[in-house]
Copies of this chain bind each other. A is one copy, B any other.
């Protein structure tokens, strides 16, 4: 069973982290056919580590996990911290395939999203 794990930076501000949890909920509805299990984890300011989040996906039946770095640019978190955490998780859960996807900022649709946002002001208002 395919699983998607959204990894974001995390904030001291609870409202900020709630935005990611809300996004995760929306993705669960919209992508449920391709990804029956969708989870999120924070790199910082969270009690749950990334290997623990992966463990929870596996408990729910995940056999393949795609990790989406929810970052706009490939700084140290994307190029080192997340791969390091995933390497640890791979050692712990050897039977499961864990793939790191490109970070969200590398999407070629970002410019279009910005243009649309400027035109329509279509935001969730948090």
- A residues at B contact (CB < 8 Å): 4, 8-9, 11-13, 15-17, 19-20, 23, 26-27, 30-31, 34-35, 66, 68, 70-76, 78-79, 101-102, 104-111, 113-118, 121-126
Interfacial chain B residues near A15, Cβ < 8 Å: 74
Q: Which residues of B contact A17 (CB under 8 A)?
A: 73
Q: Give the copy number.
A: 2
| Residue in B75, B110, B115 whose CB lies within 8 Å of A11 | B75
Q: CB-nearest residue of chain B relative to A107?
A: B117
CA A72 – CA B121 in complex, angstroms?
Answer: 16
Contact yes or no, B108 A4, CB < 8 A? no
Let me know if A4 and B109 touch, CB within 8 A.
no
